[in-house]
Amino acid sequence: MKHHYRWFIGLLLFFTGALNYLDRAAMSVAAPLIKHDLGFNDAEMGVLFSAFFVGYCVFCFVGGWCADRFGPRRVFAIAAAVWSFFCGATALMSSFAQLLVVRVLFGIGEGPMGTTTNKSIANWFPRNEAGRAVGLTAIGQPLGAALAAPLVGLLAVNFSWRIAFVATGFLGLVWLVAWLVFFRDTPAQHPCVSEQERALIQCSRAQLRVVASPVADDANEIHGVWHYVLSTRVLAVAFAFFSFNYVLYFLLSWLPSYLTDFQHLDIRHMAVVGAIPWLGASIGLALGGVASDWLTKRTGNALRSRKGVIVVGLCGSAACVLMASRVATVTPAVALIAAAALLAFMTPQTCWVLIQEIVPGSRVGAAGGFVHLLANLAGILAPGLTGWLVQYGGGYRVAFCFAATLAAAGALGVIVLLRPFNASHKRSADGTVAM
């Protein structure tokens, strides 16, 4: 621990990702019971799933900007308090309108999570560990979704769906206490970080500086934030992230209902089977981060390596989702969905690392927040559109096909739009990576 405190910080970020996805998946796991209890149909549940992302998207950008200005410690503390409170408050709601408002406010609390995590990693980890750090800390997210199926499902069956929301909200408050005790905005502010570890982090970021444009870097920045966030390269990353998120929120919102309504599993069996795809997603997160770092080190070409991981992940996921739309029995369907989740989850950590590499460090929070905002528009689109397709537009098979098409389109967008600043894009003798 003496020289590796940054990995303890990574553990805290791992747990916050798990709690975020546990909390947001609680609604989808409990959806069959909520529909029965409150008399909602699939289209109405789709609107409730999407409402979360109305608040979430806006505060992806706001949270990133605040993390740059006020530091990730303060931003994450406020966000965790808000999302935990409104997750628990869901248990008190009894009408569609009440749930709609609470879901928006819950989304506002969770909005800063992704960008503030990325800002924390940018502050705490050497550049050459960024892919692994983002990938390994992000594993908590699908594990949280996997845990949601048995934890929320069994609590809801044995007690009530309302008790399940209170329990998950309380866990967020426990994490908040640990965050305030153990985290500081930078390694230099923390007494538990050794001089050797501080030097390692600082030296790495000084020597492996990525040039965001031919004329701007952290020391001599002449462009405002909108120059970076509206660049073609950043928008290409946002489109890839959007395509991944569509698949993610399609599964996160509707997989439990698909297993109960289409595959005819009961709640207890769904609670177990529904965890399997998220275990595959955990493997994909670790694999994508390690693979992109390894390829970058092997080839010396960061952009091409990370693009390759994104393209393979999105194309492979699209193929598996498309095949899942053609099967009618539960075993091959779950196997294909798990494979799709594994491949798709090679994408997000690579997108986060690309943001660190194509904009200056002082703009990572704001640029990451803007990318996350655009990407999470998929959270508004996917649940509501899927509910409409299931209810009126041809059922689950059409919904699966649409998700596959968007994943493939994201891969194509990366191939076409994410290009280097110059033809070489090689590591120069002084350690700078030209983009």
Cβ pair 87, 394 in contact under 8 A: no
Among 244, 34, 21, which residue's Cα sits nearest to residue 146?
Answer: 21
pLDDT digits (tens, 9 = 90+) for 6-38: 889 889 999 988 888 888 888 888 888 888 888
Dist. CA 279–CA 281, nearest whole Å: 5
> In which band, very low, low, confident or very high, does the pLDDT at 213 lie, cut at 50, 70 and 90?
very low
**According to the model, what pLDDT value does residue 214 have?**
37
Q: Which residue has the tokens 């048995």?
A: 150
Q: Which residue has the tokens 């008790």?
A: 163
Report which secondary-structure segment, H or E, holds 434: strand 433-434
> In which band, very low, low, confident or very high, does the pLDDT at 239 lie, cut at 50, 70 and 90?
very high
Q: Is it the case that residue 432 has pLDDT exceeding 60?
A: no
Structure tokens at 118: 């990325």
**According to the model, what pLDDT value does residue 212 have?**
40
Q: Is it the case that residue 215 has pLDDT exceeding 50?
A: no
pLDDT digits (tens, 9 = 90+) for 59-71: 877 887 888 889 8
Angle at 293 between CA 292 and CA 295, to 5 degrees: 65
- Tell which CATH architecture fits domain 5-185+232-411: Up-down Bundle (1.20)
Dist. CA 252–CA 144, nearest whole Å: 11
> In which band, very low, low, confident or very high, does the pLDDT at 3 lie, cut at 50, 70 and 90?
low
Give a three-class secondary structure readout of 85-119: HHHHHHHHCCCHHHHHHHHHHHHHHHCCHHHHHHH
Dist. CA 212–CA 125, nearest whole Å: 19
Q: Is it the case that residue 431 has pLDDT exceeding 60?
A: no
**According to the model, what pLDDT value does residue 78 have?**
94
Report which secondary-structure segment, H or E, holds 265: none
- % of the chain with per-residue pLDDT over 90: 26
> In which band, very low, low, confident or very high, does the pLDDT at 193 lie, cut at 50, 70 and 90?
confident
Structure tokens at 330: 């539960």
**According to the model, what pLDDT value does residue 176 have?**
94
Q: Is it the case that residue 368 has pLDDT exceeding 90?
A: no
Among 229, 237, 208, 254, which residue's Cα sits nearest to residue 403?
Answer: 254
Sign of the CA dihedral running 379, 276, 86, 59:
negative
> In which band, very low, low, confident or very high, does the pLDDT at 1 lie, cut at 50, 70 and 90?
low
pTM for the whole structure: 0.67
Structural domain boundaries of the chain?
5-185+232-411
